[in-house]
Structure 1
């Protein structure tokens, strides 16, 4: 029955744990920023514009533009072929926008002439009136003759003959957004390709088939890119190829997290297991040690599968550290068995402290459930389930297995540990004074200076060398002192979004006049709302009266012959003026290349329509909540239907609020632990205070040390603070259990101390290794966790027995 139940549960948990989808979406890092009605302010994951990746082809050693474009074309052809063959669903790349079609300009001219009145603002008619003079027509006819005889003009003679007045000069700025100006970086068009102003770098825009934050699916694309870049570095060494963008940053962040977790925690765990196998000197010790933790992990993942169906890979990586708490319970059971050799005695001595430690530790994670961040919620749930599963296995399934194994141990190693445990640290006045001084300093720093929370998510990201070089190169070659962010006008329909863009343009114009905004894409000049188009068409019809048309005929007839032109050649103008114009949607006309159109507008996956503006601002104003960029964001974001396409902006205030909520929840968790301890010690407040003392002091020491060394909390290491708190709870409970139970069994305290020693060594090595991680988010965990573990061990080993002896100083003196 025992084996049937054990194998059945393991198979059940293992099967459903294997079904869970490990989500690599970096959006899990982001807390939800919501409007007052509870709707999301910005569903960043639903936007495709964030998925753009910039491909840069940098000419080296004086490479010509022809050579650069040749390499660009060959590279993109190879990429599209390889990406189509590599994707699981047939392709990896949705679109690569790297050159303009030869038909683009004629098609654009045809469309503009076919919808000319829609692009003539009513304010221009005053300027058109100034053109109806002989002097202007004579100058324009001379220009028309010159244009008609040059190479470009001869190709577009039909358009020139339809515009004898030179209206094209008034409307020229309307084509700037389509040509790439007005804030998109000022690219030059050479042979249909996009070049920076000095013509040394060619730029292409790649859109993956996957979301930028879904680094799991995007990994295949960047592996393909890296392989091609390596290949072209051999065959085209005079052109350096690089890339950057949100998808690339997400890929390298996820890759570095996996590498760091493997290289730091993985290697350190191997060292720890080697140390434990040497100390316990039993071939099956490692299996007994890892089985409960493995079962707890499968149990946690299985329950996460039933609750959510998916689980954040980052939360799983951080949760692996917290399994050290679960490992502590297993170590207590195994270590105790090595001393007493009787599973039943182990249960009698360990059930109460292990269950109490499990309950209080889970209580310390409960606060995470109430924070509106998927990463924290996933972490809290998984950690709680895993600890509960490990505890159940350690107390129910592990003891029967102990009967079948030897309780041999490395007596020399345990003798050293016993000597350390027997040393009266708690009676060393110098040590107690030193601990008191450190505690006072840390508590003082915390009280006077407090701790700070770093709400800037940019500081948690890993910046790969290759993407950083590419990003800096493009910025240096375009607007060296400026950065660029997207803003948007939203609507239920694209027409509504275009209409709302007018308000966005008005705001940006006013901000540009005061110097905050350096430039932006005037998308509103390209896409005209249908209602506005109809008003302009009506104004066009009203303006061109018979009298004005007769005046134009007379002016053409009197000026065209003077420059050698036939007045009859300009008859298409009158046909165009009298055409039956109708409003039209340019974004549905198929004129603008899809790769460029996607940077101007899109319909997100949730059905919301957005019209974008790329806004340039000073480069040195990005990472502060009191800078020009945030002032711009504040102006835009507070307007209805206008938004900032930057999750970091929306989540900064949310993160700060989350930090405040977490502080409150942490103290609530402490209150919960206090109540549980008070009940477990049968309302004995002295024993409760003594058990709670290391918990409280270790937490205050961590806060003080972070304040003293100016280490800030962030979204990642704030999670681990619950782990520090949980370990302090466990060490304190087991030490208190040993102090109270020494009258019945003097070995109990020594067993608990040995287990705490093994647990502390295990966790210090594992967590200390994280200080050597490359990823900032992983590295930030190391300091606070290591300080918390050391303080928890020292306070439990030294201060707790010292205070216990002082409280019971009137009793018969005996060794502790």
Structure 2
């Protein structure tokens, strides 16, 4: 009666869970996944308030025809400026006349003197040769004006060329429009919608522009006078691509996981009825977990959104073990109701311990400062318990209802399995032959594989090439700090970002340093520029003071300019060749340059470093931008740059903190590395405590963890042998594998402790253990179909770990159980299994026993 009520309650609960699940949404704001109390988060929020967001959405135009590039950029800029709902501001050109006229004040004095010498010699030679009365008695070569070495040194200010107003590459084939949306980079859904709107607007432009220019989104093609190729990149686009590569993988991954789990379950049961029972329970438990998520957390994030597929693979094993045990009890001749109750009792205890330990493994992730991991740990831990409870109530309830309709129906639907014989026909007990040899050989193989994970040398591995087999053995399993290994292969926005780096010689979005006053901004600028040796990872510092010449240099240069101007006061521009006359006016204007301070910087330059009018009063001030000279997608270099720039200490003793995605990612990387190690330790301790409490025996507790400890070590060894590396995503799999890996030893040992021999234990629950493991493998293997390489690496590492723990269970643990059994026989003569497990019991006998 109670089981029937359980089925009705489960159905009602499932209906409520469906409603709650339908209301779940995915929060794509990654900033919400980090503790809002972190200083890095507060600093980034200040910068966002000051300038409207971190980084840019970059629209890159590519064409071999420079006039077409500039005309199209002007027309697109007018279109973007008109979109006041989405575009805060746009940079695509900057007047350079002021910088050109005053650049001579920024030159090193010795460089200016050298330029004066070369130009004076050239001008004298040109004036002499342009004189109609000039006669050369002896042929001489004209003086050549070689200034390229000096021009290259001073051709940019603030990552912007001073040769052209437009943000155009030196080869004149690519032009950039830097768009600042009305939101920050973390609001991914808004960015995605805006990019789609831009695509439509660019398509419409192709159809309506007067020049007949066609815009084509292409990340390889070079345009011409009638075609301009365009592409999107920048922090706004790369974050969208990375996050939505995960999001768009979820649907196919969940479907593949479900189909694979269904196929494996059918293959092991060889019947539809038990498959439908456990799969329906799995689906019900998964939806209840999603409903629980809505009630407790309210939404999913980019990490917890993969919860469903993983829980399906983990959770179904509770139903598998219950059905297999029920078949075994029915095979012993028990009535269906007694068989169901005994299956709950006998399979329930290891299932309960397994559920608790697995959930504890997930719960340890809650110690993480990264909310994506802590929420995942909470929901996955609760989901494991929910699935275990659901399958151990739903499955028995369905079978009980069927039995009431027809007592023979449960046996006919799910089948029965005769308990394995404990003795051969000769009367000898069935056992694993030569368990000592089996243990020795399997242990030796395991040790050899595990040894591949150990770094046998302290020397760092060579970079820039793949390691050979024996080199991998020397360096053991390695950690891949390069986040490029996680993003989708050939991601267009990243390829375009790399192209921009090459064409413009620019790095990624800069890190910003906030200062309240101009005086503080000057201190920061002078600290970073005058002590460059302390900051090797910094390429360039850009500040409002980048446009103010150093006072001492400016005074020395002004003296040279004044002398030079005096020398050329009688210069007749008309006496120069026609090609030089156009440049002479700019040159003479440059000679008039005189020192100026911060007040002399034009507003169009100064406003780039000042807060917006909408900024909160407490956040108003100035920003200094720091550009790295290292690849920030390399985790080690990212951490180096973050360490150098996190806190800037000036000569006066003041400290200023930098802010930006670099600092956030560096903090997140350290959180992942620290939490990955901490959770493994916590899970291991929790497992040992739980197993000792379960078995009340140190040898049995240690034996039960053999599969997961040896299996995990073998997984690391195989990763080293096949050149697979740990990374910032798959490292979180380690504590999860520890939690799930306990189920192998638990079910085998609990069956063994019922008094059976190891051979009987393996034949009784081995198929269930294998089936449950393979369904978990199927859940993780579905991640291999994801577009995101980080998800793929998680799936691959999990599959290897689950399979190695299964192999260890059927070899090393089996040999250990046989040795324990032999000792049990010798010490107490209790080797015979109870009759209920070796011989069929009649219904009348069973009823008497139950009474």
Q: Report what 2:799 is aligned to.
A: 786
Under a length normalisation based on structure 1, what TM-score does the superposition of the two structures give?
Answer: 0.70
1:186 and 2:169 aligned: no
Task: Tell me if structure 2 keeps the 8 A contact 1:691–1:732.
Answer: yes
Q: Report what 2:652 is aligned to.
A: none
Q: Report what 1:382 is aligned to.
A: 379
Return the offset for 1:455.
4.1
* Alignment coverage as a number of residue pairs: 701
**SS in structure 2 opposite 1:240?**
strand
Alpha-carbon separation, structure 2, partners of 1:600 and 1:637: 24
**SS in structure 2 opposite 1:714?**
coil
Alpha-carbon separation, structure 1, partners of 2:182 and 2:530: 35
Aligned residue among 278, 281, 302 for 1:291: 281
Q: Report what 1:490 is aligned to.
A: 514
Aligned residue among 685, 700, 713 for 1:671: 685
Q: Report what 1:613 is aligned to.
A: 625
Q: Report what 1:243 is aligned to.
A: 232
Q: Report what 1:698 is aligned to.
A: 711
Aligned residue among 57, 60, 84 for 1:53: 57
Task: Tell me if structure 2 keeps the 8 A contact 1:728–1:792.
Answer: yes
Mapping 1:648-727, distance limit 5 Å = 648=662, 652=666, 655=669, 659-660=673-674, 662-681=676-695, 683-727=696-740
Aligned residue among 756, 761, 771 for 1:758: 771
Alpha-carbon separation, structure 2, partners of 1:735 and 1:210: 56
**SS in structure 2 opposite 1:195?**
coil
Q: Report what 2:459 is aligned to.
A: none
Return the offset for 1:678.
1.8
Q: Report what 1:316 is aligned to.
A: 305
Task: Tell me if structure 2 keeps the 8 A contact 1:490–1:500.
Answer: no
Mapping 1:518-667, distance limit 5 Å = 519-526=540-547, 591=604, 607=619, 609-615=621-627, 617=629, 623=634, 625=636, 634-640=643-649, 641-645=655-659, 647-648=661-662, 652=666, 655=669, 659-660=673-674, 662-667=676-681
Q: Report what 1:150 is aligned to.
A: none
Return the offset for 1:472.
3.2
Q: Report what 1:728 is aligned to.
A: 741
1:401 and 2:401 aligned: no
Distance verdict in 2 for CA 1:105–1:648, change over 3 Å = closer
Return the offset for 1:777.
0.7
Distance verdict in 2 for CA 1:229–1:262, change over 3 Å = farther
Distance verdict in 2 for CA 1:805–1:19, change over 3 Å = same
**SS in structure 2 opposite 1:615?**
strand
For structure 1, which runs of at least 5 residues remain unmatched after alignment? 85-89, 128-138, 140-172, 534-538, 540-554, 564-580
1:360 and 2:360 aligned: no
Q: Report what 2:177 is aligned to.
A: 204
Alpha-carbon separation, structure 1, partners of 2:431 and 2:661: 51
**SS in structure 2 opposite 1:196?**
coil
Q: Report what 2:73 is aligned to.
A: 72
Alpha-carbon separation, structure 1, partners of 2:452 and 2:617: 49
> What root-mean-square deviation, in Å, do the aligned CA atoms of Structure 1 and Structure 2 show?
5.5
For structure 2, which runs of at least 5 residues remain unmatched after alignment? 113-122, 124-149, 207-213, 218-222, 331-335, 403-408, 457-475, 556-565, 575-595, 650-654, 839-851
Distance verdict in 2 for CA 1:29–1:796, change over 3 Å = farther
Distance verdict in 2 for CA 1:519–1:691, change over 3 Å = closer
Q: Report what 1:222 is aligned to.
A: 195
Aligned residue among 76, 80, 89 for 1:95: 89
Return the offset for 1:789.
0.9
Alpha-carbon separation, structure 2, partners of 1:464 and 1:433: 47
Residue-by-residue CA offset, 1:528-570 (whole Å, 9 max, x unaligned): 9xxx99xxxxx9xxxxxxxxxxxxxxx9xx999xx9xxxxxxx
- Which range is displaced more, 350-359 or 774-783? 774-783
Task: Tell me if structure 2 keeps the 8 A contact 1:368–1:380.
Answer: yes
Alpha-carbon separation, structure 1, partners of 2:489 and 2:606: 31
Alpha-carbon separation, structure 2, partners of 1:225 and 1:417: 68
Distance verdict in 2 for CA 1:668–1:524, change over 3 Å = same
Return the offset for 1:700.
2.3
Q: Report what 1:273 is aligned to.
A: 262
Alpha-carbon separation, structure 2, partners of 1:762 and 1:662: 25
Residue-by-residue CA offset, 1:422-463 (whole Å, 9 max, x unaligned): 998954878655532321113334455465434444543336
Alpha-carbon separation, structure 2, partners of 1:265 and 1:464: 24
Q: Report what 2:29 is aligned to.
A: 25
Alpha-carbon separation, structure 2, partners of 1:363 and 1:398: 24
Alpha-carbon separation, structure 2, partners of 1:606 and 1:753: 66
**SS in structure 1 opposite 2:167?**
strand
Q: Report what 2:577 is aligned to.
A: none
Alpha-carbon separation, structure 1, partners of 2:760 and 2:616: 66
